Amino acid sequence: MKRLWGCLLAACMAMGAVGARAEDLPVLKVAALEGGTVNWELDTIRHYGLDKAEGFELEVMPVAGNPAAQVALQGGEADAIVTDWFWVARMRAEGQDFTFIPYSRAVGGLMVRPEGGIASLGDLKGKKIGIAGGPLDKSWLILRAYAQKELGLDLATETEQVFGAPPLIMESALSGEVDAAINFWHFMAKMETRGMTTLVSVSDAAQALGLDPETPLLGYVVSDRLVAERPAMVAGLKRASRAAKELLARDEAAFARLRDQMNAKNDAQYAALVAGYRAGIPADAPVDQAAAGRMLALMADLGGEELVGKVHDLPPGTFLSQ
């Protein structure tokens, strides 16, 4: 009996120690768009304990949009957000110390209805284009540059643009209210399953412009201060993100458990979303900074200071080096 009580006491003490260690893990708070696709990866990291395996605990802070996430990061309410590296370059040029860890290279494209009579970019002259993301959307800017290079066509002046939220642009395109649409990749996947086709992908347009389509546009953004003070946690976030990607790239069950939050209306949409996510997984390699510099120069030329501020050359430290 004494031995039994001794074993029970030892077990309780061990469990208490494990609990204490779990509670002592540093928390990394990521502000993420509520309902956004990044939550698929964040949910995977938490569900499989990929954060705890790296010595930190991931906490997700839902926000209403990208500006809210950026404010949360700048105000210290969040440790990390997911946004594009153009914003990071602009912030570094203004003296702020943010740096970028690649998350996704998934980009959109220009979609049309087969029955709409648009077979080439030239057919868009005088037509109406629906654009998600606003007049400074990167996909729109790259496609504008591509049309100018290939056809001498200025889409900004030769077409009518309608800007709106991604779901609205999708429905407007499907109904024929707009003649073509530029949307985010996950809405494009849904549009494709409903009969629309891609006229020009942003990836192909970027390549034709001499840009590298492998350059990831979206990533986790953290401060240099966090990198300096908690280098192991930042490195752990990078590894946990990669581990989640590798899991989602090969394990059908890992994706199936996310289906409810993917908002897929049917099996075809689900399959398209899975394929789109997997196609957007960036290489596990350093970002080609020369290629990124060329892309930044193009964005600065087309988007001006409203998009990238006064930066024209890629600031050192934009991409996390470790």
Cα dist. 297→147, 287, 300, 313, 315 in Å? 17, 16, 5, 7, 12
Confidence of residue 2 (pLDDT cuts 50, 70, 90): very low
pLDDT, tens digit, 9 for 90 and up, residues 170-181: 999 999 999 999
The answer to whether 139 and 109 have CB atoms below 8 angstroms apart is yes
Confidence (pLDDT) at 108: 85
CA 239 from chain center: how many Å? 17
Percent of the chain whose predicted confidence (pLDDT) is above 90: 84
Confidence of residue 18 (pLDDT cuts 50, 70, 90): very low
pLDDT, tens digit, 9 for 90 and up, residues 184-199: 999 999 999 999 999 9
pLDDT, tens digit, 9 for 90 and up, residues 223-255: 999 999 999 999 999 999 999 999 999 999 999
- 224 vs 106, higher pLDDT: 224
CA dihedral sign, ordered 203, 204, 208, 214: positive
Say if residue 15's pLDDT is above 50: no
Confidence of residue 4 (pLDDT cuts 50, 70, 90): very low
Q: What gap in Å lies between CA 272 and CA 276, rounded to an integer? A: 6
Structural element, H or E, at residue 81: strand 80-84
SS3 128: strand
φ, ψ for residue 39, nearest 5 deg: -65, -25
Say if residue 259's pLDDT is above 60: yes
Q: What gap in Å lies between CA 258 and CA 76, rounded to an integer? A: 30
End-to-end CA distance of the chain: 55
User: What domains appear along the chain, each with residue ranges and CATH number?
Assistant: 23-105+216-308 (3.40.190.10), 109-208 (3.40.190.10)
Confidence of residue 306 (pLDDT cuts 50, 70, 90): confident
pLDDT, tens digit, 9 for 90 and up, residues 141-160: 999 999 999 999 999 999 99
Confidence (pLDDT) at 3: 46
The answer to whether 76 and 192 have CB atoms below 8 angstroms apart is no
Question: Which residues are bridge partners to 82 per DSSP?
Answer: 220
Q: For the chain, what is the mean pLDDT?
A: 91
pLDDT, tens digit, 9 for 90 and up, residues 64-94: 999 999 999 999 999 999 999 999 999 999 9
Structural element, H or E, at residue 270: helix 267-279
Say if residue 46's pLDDT is above 60: yes
* CA-based nearest residue to 148, from 204, 203, 197, 209: 209
